[in-house]
């Protein structure tokens, strides 16, 4: 099980565990919220038998489990017994911050039946003291925005380099069929010379060598493409810093068959050469 990264998220109620789970999901982790501790070894066994399909796991186990939560230490001992290494991420915040968060969300503290929110937080700190002492990483979210918490988790638990933590989808499309709704960036290349008006090129696509040669023989194509690459190379690191897990770049011509396809293919080469994860789609290439 040495190839499995297993993170157990726990901590104080209201400290940001739900936001942490979303961050781990964006990093490609298999996530489960509020899993009873005694099921943790069972799930670890399933992951070990997945033949590498589940190799990054983040599980939340906290005081919401009630009496079941007391079994966490036993579950951790079982993980050690089968040779599975794990990391404990503990989230906490100052009492006044936690109280404010509960009042803002109008949610009940899991231990509020003991009295006030303050008493619930105090009791929760006592119950979590042992697991906190075993934590590999403690994050105080008192002064962190959700975005800052995500950046911290990405720094600590990202599976690879920054380039590997964003998925870039390149879409070649035709404006006559509409702009892709999930686009983050849209570029219009209808100003480039159109192979559609060259009779022997019309039935071909931007993936064919003859069309590529036609599109790329013009000076304007090279000037545009250099400016496009400069802009994309500037923007992608900005999106990574902002914590964006996926970026959709759509490039459109009239029908989505010639110019947009040729440009997208070249942009794909550039981005893959910089180790970004890239998916290429030719949305309208087969349309008449």
pLDDT digits over 205-238, tens only? 999 999 999 999 999 999 999 999 999 999 998 8
pLDDT, tens digit, 9 for 90 and up, residues 64-112: 766 667 788 888 888 887 777 888 999 999 999 988 888 887 777 877 7
pLDDT band at 164 (very low <50, low <70, confident <90, very high): low
- Is 60 exceeded by the pLDDT of residue 268? yes
Q: How many CB atoms sit inside 10 A of residue 112's CB?
A: 17
Residue 27, both tokens = 């990093």
Mean pLDDT (whole number) for 278-283:
92
Mean of per-residue pLDDT scores for the chain:
87
Q: How far apart are CA 12 and CA 90, in angstroms?
A: 8
The contacts of residue 243 (CB under 8 Å, 6+ apart) are: 23, 26, 147, 150, 151, 154
CA distances from 232 to 86, 94, 122, 162, 238 (A): 38, 41, 50, 15, 10
Q: Does domain 5-159 have CATH number 3.40.50.12280?
A: no
pLDDT, tens digit, 9 for 90 and up, residues 114-147: 568 888 888 889 989 998 999 999 999 998 888 8
Tell me the whole-structure pTM to 2 decimals: 0.61
Mean pLDDT (whole number) for 22-41:
86
Residues of the chain with CATH 3.40.50.300: 5-159
pLDDT band at 174 (very low <50, low <70, confident <90, very high): very high
């Amino acid at each position: 099980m040495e190839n499995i990264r297993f993170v157990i998220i726990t901590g104080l109620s209201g400290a940001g565990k739900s936001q942490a789970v979303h961050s781990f999901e964006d990093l490609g982790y298999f996530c489960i919220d509020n899993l009873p501790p005694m099921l943790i070894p069972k799930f670890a066994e399933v992951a070990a038998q997945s033949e590498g399909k589940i190799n990054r796991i983040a599980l939340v186990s906290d005081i919401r489990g009630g009496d079941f939560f007391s079994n966490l230490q036993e579950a951790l001992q079982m993980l050690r017994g089968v040779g599975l290494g794990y990391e404990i991420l503990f989230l906490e915040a100052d009492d006044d911050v936690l109280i404010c968060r509960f009042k803002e969300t109008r949610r009940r503290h899991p231990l509020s039946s003991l009295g006030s929110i303050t008493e619930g937080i105090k009791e929760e700190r006592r119950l979590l003291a042992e697991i906190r002492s075993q934590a590999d990483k403690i994050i105080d979210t008192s002064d962190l925005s959700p975005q800052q918490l995500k950046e911290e988790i990405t720094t600590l638990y990202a599976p690879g380099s920054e380039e590997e933590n964003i998925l870039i989808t390149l879409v070649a499309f035709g404006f006559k069929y509409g702009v892709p709704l999930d686009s983050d960036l849209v570029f219009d290349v209808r100003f480039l010379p159109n192979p559609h008006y060259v009779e022997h090129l019309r039935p071909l696509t931007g993936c064919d060598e003859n069309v590529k040669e036609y599109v790329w023989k013009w000076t304007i194509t090279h000037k545009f493409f250099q400016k496009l690459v400069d802009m994309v190379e500037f923007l992608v690191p900005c999106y990574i810093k902002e914590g964006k897990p996926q970026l959709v770049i759509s490039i459109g011509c009239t029908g989505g068959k010639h110019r947009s396809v040729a440009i997208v293919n070249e942009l794909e080469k550039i981005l893959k050469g910089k180790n970004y994860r890239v998916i290429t789609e030719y949305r309208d290439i087969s349309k008449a």
